[in-house]
């Protein structure tokens, strides 16, 4: 068999290549794809043979891509996007397909929308596999690289190939423990109060959703946390407060008391965001519609 027999390259092989490139690890790629490490190694051996390049070399505990591998990232993604477009007009029956999707979102949209959505799907006999990664302040390259196929975020990334639709809107509230304190009742008191804040992996803060005020007057956070679910443990039994959307009362911050902000502030919108390659895919479109319906029910 010729080393340049391109017919050995199918969509699964190319998808595996991109995941190895993203994860820099055979074991992590296997975990993402739900296959054994030996299956990943076998696919990588096939790629090396067909492409005539080692593609990855071992470096410490991971893999380092060769220049050839890096140069192939964009062309391979384009090929996969073209293959996916071939199925845009296919008949779609949600009961006949297994739907698998990776979603970038933070605690609140994940916990509010997807548990009831999954329960409804299971009752209907729909086979759905969900994977979640934290979105933080999201990077459009997560969608462009197909690391995820959907985002739910109050801070949608921009780009001519990035689509968005607002699915939720909610005012910001002060979350606190009423057994320990009353909420701040004016701007100065709010600025002087000790806060709990979420800081994402990229270093940016959840405070980004507080718009229309001079944030430089607000004291630095007393406690900085990696995710919203940890907030109640620090606010309960203390004088600390957290500023988050009212929707959090139905999710991670249900155990805390809440009160309106003592100043004017824009409401927070949560957007559903996807790449243009998914716009016309019938399964993706159907899933977006169902997510939007669950979100609408939360606002009724």
Average pLDDT over the chain reads: 87
Segment 82-87 shows an average pLDDT of 70
Instruction: State yes or no: pLDDT of 111 exceeds 60.
Output: yes
Q: Please tell me the distance from the alpha carbon of residue 58 to that of residue 96, in angstroms, as a whole number.
A: 41
Element (H, E) at 189: helix 187-192
Statement: residue 83 has pLDDT above 80: no
Among 65-79, 180-194, 199-213, 284-298, name the one with the lowest average pLDDT.
199-213
pLDDT tens, 3-41?
A: 456 666 778 888 888 888 888 888 888 887 777 888 888
Q: How many CA atoms lie within 13 A of 161 on its CB side?
A: 14
Alpha carbon distance 164, 158 (integer Å):
9
pLDDT > 50? residue 2: no
**Average pLDDT of the segment spanning 170-188:** 96
Residues 6+ apart with CB under 8 A from 21: 65, 69, 70, 73
Confidence of residue 1 (pLDDT cuts 50, 70, 90): very low
pLDDT for 87: 65
**What secondary structure does DSSP assign to 35-104, as a single string?**
S-HHHHHHHHHHHHHHHTS--EEEETTEEEE-HHHHHHHHHHHHHHHHHHHTTTTS---TTTSEEEEEEE
Residue 117's pLDDT is: 94
Task: Give the dihedral sign, CA 74/78/79/83.
Answer: positive
In this structure, the strands spanning 127-133 and 98-105 are: parallel
Spatial separation of the C-alpha atoms in residues 39 and 102, rounded to whole Å: 21
Cα–Cα distance, 283 to 34 (Å, whole number): 21
**Backbone Cα Rg of the chain:** 23
- pLDDT at residue 203, as a whole number: 74
Q: Which residues pair with 174 in a beta bridge?
A: 243, 259
Q: In this structure, what are the phi and psi dihedrals at residue 87, rounded to the nearest 5 degrees?
A: -100, 5
**Rounded average pLDDT over 98-125:** 91
Amino acid 11: pLDDT = 80
Residues facing residue 239 across a β-bridge = none
- Per-residue model confidence (pLDDT) at position 254: 92
Residues in the chain: 300
- CA dist., res. 223 & res. 155, Å (int): 23
Residue 171 has pLDDT above 70, yes or no: yes
Cross-sheet strand order for the sheet of 257-260 = 242-245, 172-176, 257-260
């Amino acid at each position: 068999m010729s080393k340049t027999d391109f017919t050995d390259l199918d969509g699964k092989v190319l998808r595996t290549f991109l995941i190895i490139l993203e994860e820099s690890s055979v074991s992590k790629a296997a975990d993402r794809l739900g296959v054994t490490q030996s299956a990943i190694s076998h696919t990588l051996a096939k790629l090396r043979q067909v492409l005539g390049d080692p593609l990855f070399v071992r470096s410490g505990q991971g893999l380092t891509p060769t220049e050839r591998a890096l140069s192939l990232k964009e062309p391979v993604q384009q090929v996969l996007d073209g293959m996916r477009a071939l199925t845009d007009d296919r008949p779609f029956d949600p009961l006949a397909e297994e739907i698998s999707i990776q979603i970038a979102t933070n605690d609140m949209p994940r916990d509010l929308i997807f548990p009831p959505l999954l329960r409804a799907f299971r009752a209907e006999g729909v086979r759905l596999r969900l994977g979640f990664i934290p979105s933080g302040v999201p990077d459009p390259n997560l969608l462009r690289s197909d690391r995820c196929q959907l985002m739910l975020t109050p801070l949608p990334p921009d780009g001519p190939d990035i689509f968005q639709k607002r699915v939720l809107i909610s005012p910001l509230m002060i979350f606190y423990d009423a057994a320990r304190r009353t909420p701040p009742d004016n701007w100065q008191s709010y600025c002087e109060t000790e806060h709990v804040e979420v800081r994402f992996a990229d270093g940016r803060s959840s405070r980004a959703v507080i718009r229309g005020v001079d944030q430089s007057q607000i004291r630095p956070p007393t406690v900085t946390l990696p995710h919203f679910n940890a907030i109640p443990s620090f606010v309960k039994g203390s004088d600390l407060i957290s500023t988050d959307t009212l929707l959090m009362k139905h999710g991670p911050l249900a155990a805390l008391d809440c009160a309106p902000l003592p100043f004017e502030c824009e409401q927070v919108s949560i957007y559903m965001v996807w790449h243009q390659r998914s716009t016309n895919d019938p399964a993706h479109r159907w899933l977006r519609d169902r997510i939007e319906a669950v979100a609408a029910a939360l606002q009724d």
